[in-house]
Homo-oligomer: A and B are copies of this chain.
Amino acid sequence: MTSNVVTPMASTLRRSGEDRRQEIVLTVLALAQARGVEAITTQAIAGHMGLTQGAVFRHFPNKEAIWAAVLDWLQARLAEVFTPRPEATPVTKVKCVFEAYMDLFAAYPAVPRLFFSDTLHHPYPQLHARLQKMVRGCEDILARWLDEAVEAGEARVGASPAMAAKLLLACIQGLAFQSCVLGIVADPVAAGRQLFPLYLAAIGAAKECP
């Protein structure tokens, strides 16, 4: 007789590690939106994927590594946001980035939730530093474009371009909070369309922007 201890792996689909890691990241995004960042436990992740809790640790050594993978994903999305058409004028680039942000928030409402959550900041100094670096990098790119816009006569910023960049990012973050965390802005894309002209006025740019 064979050892009839149990009959595991009944109908479970076995997948590659790379697949599972991606799936875990997407599951984290889904859970952040559905149940909140604090409710993202390894058990919740495993349950959402139809696996047992221990399986999660086959693919990540600990929870911090999961968060790091989520940050990898987030960084890739942010890189996409900051890839406007190269032939665009500086102000148009800025506008495209703003719109891409709103599209990102509409597509993945979990992103601001993760960004704002203390979980990604206080308990993990390295992740906190990475998030700092990411935002600083975005600010720098925007500041460069705004500088070019002033030089090209496309805008006439009263303050420094760096401050104009900080203002735009602050607006974006505020909108992200209002739409994705607080839920008082139904459609970030529509809200952005109404708000961006005000920013153009702030930097003394024309309203058109093709």
The chain A residues found within 8 Å of chain B, CB to CB, are: 32, 35-39, 113, 116-119, 121-123, 128, 131-132, 135-136, 157-160, 163-164, 166-167, 169-175, 177-178, 181-185, 191, 194-195, 197-199, 201-204, 207
| Given contact pairs A158-B197, A202-B199, A39 touches B171 in the complex (Cβ within 8 A) | no
| Given contact pairs A173-B174, A178-B166, A182-B135, A197 touches B159 in the complex (Cβ within 8 A) | yes
**B residues in contact with A204, CB < 8 Å:** 201
Describe A's contact surface by its main secondary structure: helix
**B residues in contact with A198, CB < 8 Å:** 157-159, 163-164, 167, 202-203
| Given contact pairs A132-B183, A184-B136, A178 touches B170 in the complex (Cβ within 8 A) | yes
Asked whether A182 lies within 8 Å of B132 as measured between CB atoms, the reply is yes
**Which among B113, B164, B195 is the interface contact of A167 at CB below 8 angstroms?**
B195
**B residues in contact with A160, CB < 8 Å:** 194
Interface centre among A32, A135, A170, A207 (most CB of B within 10 A): A170
Asked whether A173 lies within 8 Å of B178 as measured between CB atoms, the reply is yes
Distance, CA A128 to CA B197, complexed state (A): 31
**Which among B121, B178, B181, B203 is the interface contact of A36 at CB below 8 angstroms?**
B121
Asked whether B171 lies within 8 Å of A167 as measured between CB atoms, the reply is yes
In the complex, what's the smallest C-beta–C-beta distance from A50 to chain B, in angstroms? 23
Distance, CA A172 to CA B175, complexed state (A): 11
Q: List 19 A-B contacts (CB under 8 A).
A: A36-B119, A37-B118, A38-B118, A38-B119, A116-B116, A128-B183, A131-B182, A135-B182, A159-B194, A166-B191, A167-B195, A167-B198, A170-B170, A170-B171, A171-B171, A173-B174, A198-B202, A201-B202, A201-B203
**B residues in contact with A203, CB < 8 Å:** 198, 201
Nearest chain B residue, comparing its CB with the CB of A115: B177
